[in-house]
Amino acid sequence: MAPIHIDETSGSDTTGKGTPDQPYQTLGVALFNHGASESFLTRKDSTAAYEEPTQSSLKKAKKTAEGIEKKRKKQEELAERDAKEKGEERERKEKLLEESKKIVLEEDATLPKATKAKITHLAELRSKRIRVCGWVHRLRQQKDIIFVVLRDGTGYLQTVLSGKVASTYEALTLNLESSIEVVGMLQAVPEGKTAPGGHELIVDYWKVLGSAPGADDAFTNRLNEKSDPSIQADLRHLVLRGETASSVLRLRAYLMAAFREAMTFHSIMEVTPPCLVQTQVEGGATLFKLDYYGQNAFLTQSSQLYLETCLPSLGDVFCVQESFRAENSHTRRHLSEYTHMEAELAFITFDDLMDNIENIICKTVDILLTNPTSAALIKQLNPKFEPPARPFLRLSYVDAIKWLNEHGIQLPAEDAEGNAIKDERGQIKMVDHKVGDDIAEAAERQMTDIIGTPVFLHGFPAELKAFYMKKIPGGDGKMSFTESCDLLMPNVGEIVGGSMRIADMAELLAAYKREGIDPEPYYWFTDQRKYGTCEHGGYGLGVERFLAWLADRYTVRECSLYPRWPGRATP
Ligand code: 4AD
């Protein structure tokens, strides 16, 4: 029989086989693997010759081999015991499960009648018997007690199931996101313990209304914090069940109500303009076109033109309406469909317009901070939130260009065709801003973040703005500027765009012509200048952008129920 080789330097006890090519490293392991009847050859390293081991090293190795054998046996025993215990546990569970099927829960008719309530209204029902329906938000079993945190959209409630109610088949097979009905006494949580609302429900009767799967199809297997963004987008309907997403949407609801309250406070009346339109407002490039009974129509970009027509009948008006922009923008502040809060005010000056924007925003924030529920949501989502200091800074476009240059914020140089110019190293050449340049999103964001407070940027060049904007009277004749403003907020950038509108008929007709717009479909808009024109202006606020600022969200996508962006219209 071939001897077993051991090389104490290059051998290996894990991959070695005992051959001259694959020697072991230690005699002990070689002995353990092959038994004492084999012959062995050992060497210190490859420079030495193989020799038979000495008696004393054989003796030492034998001890090592015995030690290894002992350890192996112990592990084997442990594994056996473990398997047995697991088997017993499985059997116990199966038996329990089988027995649980026999347990039938029935509501005890002798107990006080339970009041059905939403979780948000439970404070006044302490120490009473109540009935609540909701979804299993969290589930924890501690010995024979099951703790369920129930969610009903209005809040969270800790419920405690013990004894018979925790032993039914439904209790033992309950999964997250099942919908259930629970009945029991509402009690303050014991001293030193915490729970949402400071109380917990001691359940005496409950039932599953709609079960949710466990195992592979369990909710947490379909979606968790680590899920890829595209999966999260596909599963937005499930993401919404999460605490943060639902808090953002809840705050959004309070925000919409606060806007409406602020508008009403300022005597501005709500109207609902159409989404299907045949006129553009903010340029043809971002219109979604559709076939409308054989005619061309668009999804509205802004309800502004319709609001203007309401001034002579309803006075100052506002709307909360979806606007649609076919922009191929994948930035964190662009959506293809967004909620647009627009207002239009008659007989005002440009300063009145900016005052109104500031008033509405500050009033809205005040309302939200006064209401304890919305104030708590803001605190939860954006703990550092402070209402903005007034008055908001007003910076003219021309001064903003100067500011950018003084702060070294540049833009890519372009040739006459609008292509970026590169330097010798192939890097895009950056140049200072000049009057007439559009202030790009990145520059605007840098500026707002450095200034750190809301900023009204006003007086943009007419060439950069929409056809309807009123020009600033006078000027040097070289370039005309408009009575327009953008309100920029730290972290988000532009949240409001507004302007004074052309009130003069001839000026409006000239503007259509300059922009190559056919005046025919705008007859109703033009008529406003014919029948008693007035100086007027208005603005549009992006609700998702405002919410991103308020709730400190990274992207407007988190601030929309089902956000749409290029390529995404599902779910
Ligand atoms: O600056 P914009 O395009 O102005 C108008 O549409 C005017 N007609 C409004 C008016 O005067 N009645 O858009 C106004 C606001 C922006 O400041 C921004 O908050 C939001 O609408 N907005 C968008 N929000 C999300 N995604 C987009 N693609 C947006 N485009 C504009």
> What is the distance in A from the centroid of ligand 1 to the CA of 194?
44
The per-residue DSSP string of 116-144 comes to E--GGGGGGGTTSEEEEEEEEEEEEEETT
Mutate to test the pocket of ligand 1, among 304, 321, 323 (most ligand atoms within 8 A of CB): 323
Q: For residue 36, what pLDDT is reported?
A: 85
> What is the distance in A from the centroid of ligand 1 to the CA of 339?
9
Q: Is 342's C-beta closer than 6 angstroms to any atom of ligand 1?
A: yes
Q: Is 281's C-beta closer than 6 angstroms to any atom of ligand 1?
A: yes
Q: Is 539's C-beta closer than 6 angstroms to any atom of ligand 1?
A: yes
DSSP 414: B
- How far is Cα 251 from Cα 373, in angstroms, rounded to an integer? 9
Of all protein residues, whose CA lies closest to atom 2 belonging to ligand 1?
A: 497
Quick one: which atom of ligand 1 is closest to the CA of 486? 17
Q: For residue 374, what pLDDT is reported?
A: 98
- How far is Cα 32 from Cα 65, in angstroms, rounded to an integer? 5
Of all protein residues, whose CA lies closest to atom 17 belonging to ligand 1?
A: 496
- How far is Cα 84 from Cα 43, in angstroms, rounded to an integer? 45
Residue pair 496/340 in contact (Cβ under 8 Å)? The answer is no
CA atoms within 13 A on the CB side of 289: 7
Q: For residue 415, what pLDDT is reported?
A: 86
Quick one: which atom of ligand 1 is closest to the CA of 466? 8
Residue pair 522/502 in contact (Cβ under 8 Å)? The answer is no
Q: Is 273's C-beta closer than 6 angstroms to any atom of ligand 1?
A: no
CA atoms within 13 A on the CB side of 22: 5
This prediction has a pTM of 0.85
Cα three-residue angle 214-218-223, rounded to 5 degrees: 170
Q: Is 338's C-beta closer than 6 angstroms to any atom of ligand 1?
A: yes
Residue pair 278/298 in contact (Cβ under 8 Å)? The answer is yes
Residue type, 229: P
Give the Cβ contact number of residue 119 at 10 Å: 20
Of all protein residues, whose CA lies closest to atom 23 belonging to ligand 1?
A: 542
Q: For residue 177, what pLDDT is reported?
A: 98
Q: Is 298's C-beta closer than 6 angstroms to any atom of ligand 1?
A: no
- How far is Cα 15 from Cα 21, in angstroms, rounded to an integer? 11
Residue type, 435: V
**Residue 445: both structure tokens together:** 């964001």
Quick one: which atom of ligand 1 is closest to the CA of 556? 25
How far CA 219 is from CA of 62, 81, 176, 247, in Å, comes to 56, 34, 7, 20
Q: Is 558's C-beta closer than 6 angstroms to any atom of ligand 1?
A: no
Q: For residue 475, what pLDDT is reported?
A: 67
Q: Is 496's C-beta closer than 6 angstroms to any atom of ligand 1?
A: yes
> What is the distance in A from the centroid of ligand 1 to the CA of 437?
20
Mean pLDDT by runs of 10 across the 571 residues of the chain is: 91 93 93 90 91 91 92 94 92 90 94 97 96 98 94 97 95 97 96 93 98 94 91 96 97 98 98 96 92 97 98 98 95 96 98 98 98 97 96 96 95 87 88 92 91 96 93 78 96 96 96 93 97 98 98 97 97 97
Quick one: which atom of ligand 1 is closest to the CA of 307? 12
Quick one: which atom of ligand 1 is closest to the CA of 342? 12
Residue pair 150/134 in contact (Cβ under 8 Å)? The answer is yes
Q: For residue 474, what pLDDT is reported?
A: 74
Give the Cβ contact number of residue 409 at 10 Å: 20
Of all protein residues, whose CA lies closest to atom 7 belonging to ligand 1?
A: 540
Helix (H, G, I), strand (E, B) or coil at 298: strand
> What is the distance in A from the centroid of ligand 1 to the CA of 496?
7
Mutate to test the pocket of ligand 1, among 308, 340, 470 (most ligand atoms within 8 A of CB): 340
Residue pair 170/208 in contact (Cβ under 8 Å)? The answer is yes
> What is the distance in A from the centroid of ligand 1 to the CA of 273?
16
Residue pair 263/257 in contact (Cβ under 8 Å)? The answer is no
Q: For residue 473, what pLDDT is reported?
A: 81
Residue pair 538/342 in contact (Cβ under 8 Å)? The answer is yes
Q: Is 544's C-beta closer than 6 angstroms to any atom of ligand 1?
A: yes
Residue pair 281/304 in contact (Cβ under 8 Å)? The answer is yes
- How far is Cα 542 from Cα 539, in angstroms, rounded to an integer? 10
Q: Is 166's C-beta closer than 6 angstroms to any atom of ligand 1?
A: no
- How far is Cα 433 from Cα 74, in angstroms, rounded to an integer? 78
Q: Is 444's C-beta closer than 6 angstroms to any atom of ligand 1?
A: no
DSSP 357: H
Of all protein residues, whose CA lies closest to atom 27 belonging to ligand 1?
A: 334
Quick one: which atom of ligand 1 is closest to the CA of 304? 12
**Residue 397: both structure tokens together:** 């476009």
Of all protein residues, whose CA lies closest to atom 20 belonging to ligand 1?
A: 542
How far CA 82 is from CA of 76, 78, 89, 120, in Å, comes to 10, 6, 10, 47
Q: For residue 541, what pLDDT is reported?
A: 98
> What is the distance in A from the centroid of ligand 1 to the CA of 262?
20
Q: Is 304's C-beta closer than 6 angstroms to any atom of ligand 1?
A: yes
> What is the distance in A from the centroid of ligand 1 to the CA of 281?
11
